[in-house]
Amino acid sequence: NAGVMQNPRHLVRRRGQEARLRCSPMKGHSHVYWYRQLPEEGLKFMVYLQKENIIDESGMPKERFSAEFPKEGPSILRIQQVVRGDSAAYFCASSPRDLGQPQHFGDGTRLSIL
Amino acid sequence: GENVEQHPSTLSVQEGDSAVIKCTYSDSASNYFPWYKQELGKRPQLIIDIRSNVGEKKDQRIAVTLNKTAKHFSLHITETQPEDSAVYFCAAKGSSGDKLTFGTGTRLAVRP
């Protein structure tokens, strides 16, 4: 029973490049959430998606950040023109269709900006 | 929106003693409160959760209590072991959708 799969585990980018982070939810889960964790801090909600729909993006910066969860394939968090402040661990979580179910996290992608 | 505060930020206990971590939340409509354990460099792992229609829930050495009137909930770990050492996060799901709002974490150290 595979859990939430994220890749890559580590990603290094230079300032101004693009970063693409991928998340495949657990089997049977149709809700995906992205959270950001800065070193020594808690997790901050970014965006909540269902297949082909963004449900809540209230935690995502208006510029440079975008997310999608297509009908086929993983959810993608895309950061354009990365800056040093984007360095963080980005975690994806998934939950089943029914609201109020527990969210299970992937291993995260650690993004480092040179 | 929801705001979750967590105390203490660090906690050191002797092996075998109990540990208690407390959280308060602001949104009185919040209805779901999970606790996650995160070891260094690893994913947050759900260890226990409680819903607003329940006052207490227990799973072996771990228990969570919820006081809806005071808007606070607590994690209790009894008979602590060195492998309980980790950062623990509380979270709350408010009335504005399905997202979780996390506390700032408690770094628990269990001394052998």
The full DSSP string for A41-105 is S-EEEEEEEETTEEEE-TTS-SSSEEEE--SSS-EEEEE-S--GGG-EEEEEEEEESSTTPPPEE
Taking contacts as CB-CB distances below 8 angstroms, the residues of chain A near B7 are none
CA distance A34 to B37: 18
Q: What is the pLDDT of residue B15?
A: 97
Asked if residues A35 and A47 have their Cβ atoms less than 8 Å apart, the reply is no
Taking contacts as CB-CB distances below 8 angstroms, the residues of chain A near B1 are 58
With 80 as the cut, is the pLDDT of residue B110 above it? yes
With 90 as the cut, is the pLDDT of residue A97 above it? no
Q: What is the pLDDT of residue A102?
A: 87
Q: Note whether B42 contacts A: Cβ–Cβ < 8 A.
A: yes
Listed residue (B28, B36, B45) closest to B91, CA to CA: B36
Length of chain B: 112
CA distance A5 to A75: 10
Asked if residues A84 and A69 have their Cβ atoms less than 8 Å apart, the reply is no
Q: Which residue of B has its CA nearest to A98?
A: B98
CA distance B24 to B40: 25
User: How many percent of chain A have pLDDT more than 70?
Assistant: 96
- 3 state SS of A4: coil
Asked if residues B83 and B77 have their Cβ atoms less than 8 Å apart, the reply is no
CA distance B29 to B52: 9
Band (pLDDT 50/70/90 cuts) for residue B96 is low
> Residue range B63-84: average pLDDT?
96
Q: Note whether A39 contacts B: Cβ–Cβ < 8 A.
A: no
Band (pLDDT 50/70/90 cuts) for residue A2 is confident
The dihedral over CA atoms of A74, A84, A18, A4, expressed in degrees to the nearest 10, equals: -10
With 60 as the cut, is the pLDDT of residue B6 above it? yes
